[in-house]
């Protein structure tokens, strides 16, 4: 990686986050607004790239923006207690387990509907009937 400053395209490439999302994170306050060049272009430093990579990894793990903000604050706090970080992670695991349970229920229902559909030339379709709120 070249030394900074980086324009938004370079920051996006180096962090794995799109330029659009970088601008969004700035607008929502997840990251600080970038400094600007004399011609008005956003300029990012190496520390900004590290923050963006942190965010990307957290998003890959499914953390919400609020959770990422909390984790960023903990990451930047040299006097943090690791128990606070662990609590955020454990809370997220509970949320993921619930999402997995819900997805398993969706999958089972779709399998049931697909099995009940003849998949032939007739227009009858229990899948569409179910989506329309009709019993199948």
Helix axes 65-76, 82-116, angle to 10 degrees: 160
What does each C-alpha distance from 54 to 6, 58, 119, 135 come to in angstroms? 17, 6, 46, 47
Name the β-bridge partners of 35: 43
pLDDT level of residue 135 (50, 70, 90 thresholds): low
Least confident of 2-6, 67-71, 79-83: 2-6
Per-residue pLDDT tens over the stretch 63-73: 999 999 999 99
Tokens representing residue 4 in the block: 């900074």
SS3 call for 89: helix
Confidence of residue 121 (pLDDT cuts 50, 70, 90): confident
pTM, two decimals, is 0.80
């Amino acid at each position: 990686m070249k030394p900074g400053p980086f324009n938004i395209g370079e920051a996006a490439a180096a962090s794995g986050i799109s330029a659009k999302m970088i601008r969004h994170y700035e607008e929502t306050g997840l990251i600080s607004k970038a400094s600007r060049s004399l011609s008005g272009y956003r300029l990012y430093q190496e520390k900004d790239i590290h923050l963006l990579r942190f965010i990307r990894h957290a998003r890959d793990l499914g953390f919400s923006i609020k959770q990422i903000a909390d984790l960023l604050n903990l990451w930047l706090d040299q006097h943090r207690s690791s128990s606070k970080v662990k609590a955020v992670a454990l809370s997220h695991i509970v949320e993921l387990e619930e999402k997995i349970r819900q997805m398993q229920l969706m999958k089972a229902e779709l399998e049931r509907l697909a099995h009940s559909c003849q998949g032939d030339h007739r227009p009858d379709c229990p899948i569409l009937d179910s989506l329309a709120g009709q019993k199948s």
